[in-house]
Chains A and B, each alone.
Chain A
Amino acid sequence: MSGMGNREREIRERDANVRRVSRITAIAGALAASATAGFGVLAAAATGHAGQTAATGTAATTAVATQAATTTGDSATETETETTQVPTTQATTAPTPATQDPVAVSGGS
């Protein structure tokens, strides 16, 4: 009986550890996502993607909304509304070396 009790206790502790690790992983993931979420928010605000809903990255957008709410006063209302509708996991496309003559010039103005 005592052997069975020890085993049950071990199983419970192991389950608790798994849950703890999962929780920490989720928090770390959300924090990592929120670090890059800001410019996703800005991108959507700029182009008016108001109708789009984030299929992923919800934790990230929430983090950004919370942060903005503490810093922008009345503007926070705006920020919160927008960020709940913005996808944040789209990656920025990096340039590659050109293989043709330029068609446009990007420089200071």
Chain B
Amino acid sequence: MSWATASFPALGTSAAVTVTDAEALPAARVILQDELRRIDEACSRFRDDSELTRLNRSAGVQFATSPLLLQALAVALYAAARTDGDVDPTVGRSLGALGWDSDFSVVIARRGQTPRMRIVPAAGWQRVRLDRARRTVRIPAGVEIDLGATAKALAADRSARRVHAETGAGVLVNLGGDIALAGAAPEGGWPILVTDDHRSDIGAEGQAIALSAGGLATSSTTVRRWRAGEGDVHHIVDPRSGAPADEVWRTVSVAARTCVEANTASTAAVVRGEAAVAWLERNGLPARLVRTDATTVYTCGWPAEAAA
């Protein structure tokens, strides 16, 4: 089966939509752009005019949300609940204190010339008060929400489902390595390279797998790093300490029923360290975990790589 792809930069990363029917590609591209615009307007921590920025400045006052921000917050809180707080949307101040307080291109451009790095634990997701009936949310003054761990994956899921619903084509949406599938996959599944960095070309070192449904996400401590004070830090924060998670795993990839689910699990696995293997097994999630020494662990039917 053939397929057609459109790609463009978005959300500070790359966005691509691939469909099994080339005639559906123009519509698929328009849908993806629309979904990304909406998610950015609702959930960006760095846009001054985003709904999330207004929420973060609401200082303990009841805040009326759009349906999309409400959904994104609900998903983030579920992710926190299901991971016992490993993936916590109240890490906004933690990330800012580590130096990620602007669009990532700005952070990188500073080349370490940042104010002194501080370690600030997350405020705690239980302090977020979400009222679905009234479509309101309240966060205590000083708490800053960051939806980076789940909003991009949510956008991938929403886009894939909408492209399939409106075009009937099989679809793969890839937002910076967060992949969501919808509709009928090509025979043998969608072939996907799993590797450290989503910017790699398809010939890069990694594992080529095929996936027919659901979502796939990879979290890595090797990309999205920046200089902070004397050292290097990466972006996956342990909410309990506020520090970057210990680098037990270089890269964790998880396949799941949705991209949000996959991304939540891959992020939580990095935070959990060695304990992630048993946790993924308990949750029935196929995963590939690569240690910093390049040894690899697989869970729940993820195929082992053929020896080189």
Contact = CB atoms under 8 A, between A and B. Distances in A.
A43 to B, nearest CB: 4
Nearest to A41: B78
A81 B251 CA distance: 35
A45 B176 contact: no
A71 B82 CA distance: 11
A42 B76 CA distance: 9
B303 interface: yes
Contacts of A47: 157-158, 161, 258, 260
B244 interface: no
Interface residues of B, number: 89
B33 interface: no
A36 interface: yes
B81 A96 contact: no
Given A43-B256, A96-B303, A99-B188, A104 B193 contact: yes
Question: For chain A, what secondary structure do more than half of its interface residues adopt (helix, strand, loop), or is it mixed?
Answer: mixed
Interface of A: 35-36, 38-43, 45-48, 68, 71-75, 77-79, 81-82, 90-109
28 contacts: A39-B256, A39-B285, A41-B78, A42-B82, A43-B258, A47-B158, A73-B126, A75-B125, A77-B131, A77-B133, A93-B213, A96-B188, A98-B191, A98-B210, A99-B188, A99-B210, A102-B192, A103-B190, A104-B191, A105-B198, A105-B202, A105-B204, A107-B177, A107-B196, A107-B198, A107-B218, A108-B196, A108-B219
Given A43-B256, A75-B77, A98-B191, 7 more contacts: A45-B260, A46-B78, A72-B77, A101-B202, A103-B191, A104-B172, A106-B195
